[in-house]
Amino acid sequence: MPLVISDASTLIHLAGIGRLALLKEIYEKIVIPAAVWAEVVEQGRGRSGAMEVEVARQAGWIEVLSPTNEPLVHLLKRDLDGGEAEAIALAIERQADLLLLDESDARKVAERYNLPKTGVIGLLIRAKRESRIASLQTELDTLRSRAGFWIAEELYQQVLRVVGEMD
């Protein structure tokens, strides 16, 4: 089973469109750092993702782990929020197979450490290719309208072409 670590935004956005379970279907288990748990479940109580992530942890397919390299976390927090910093630090420590993040600054930092990464759009493309969702366009439109996810129009059209939903 691959070691997949997620930051908060991926969980929140997938939960916002009712698709958090795709993570379980595709990866079986997800690891999140304590700062992501705090952001999504504790500070996010009553908002999208809080209840879903808590239920997933109780069901055993989301696990909370903390990175041990505090100096690295502190360094990463100069440019990133706590959840992103801990997710990247944990991915480095545990040699994660995949890191789930969407924020461009966090993705740039992950690239510096040569961490394999994807985000919500990449997950939805994979779900479409594996016939786990019927329409990528429907999911992206819902992501934009219901979850407040920003996606450039050029990227939107490009990913739809990639999966054969647009000429």
Instruction: Give the global pTM.
Output: 0.94
In this prediction, residue 46 carries a pLDDT of 86
CATH of the domain spanning 4-120, picked from 3.30.360.10, 3.20.20.70, 3.40.50.1010, 3.90.320.10: 3.40.50.1010
Mean pLDDT score of the chain? 95
With vertex at residue 148, the alpha carbon angle to CA 36 and CA 12, rounded to the nearest 5 degrees, is 20
pLDDT in tens, 7-44: 999 999 999 999 999 999 999 999 999 999 999 999 98
The confidence score (pLDDT) of residue 48 equals 81
What does the pLDDT look like over 86-142, one tens digit per residue?
999 999 999 999 999 999 999 999 999 999 999 999 999 999 999 999 999 999 999
- Indicate the domain borders of the chain: 4-120, 123-162
In this predicted model, what pLDDT tens digit does every residue of 39-61 receive, in sequence order? Answer: 999 998 888 889 999 999 999 99
Report how far apart, in Å, the C-alpha atoms of 75 and of each of 7, 42, 64, 79, 113 are: 17, 24, 21, 8, 13
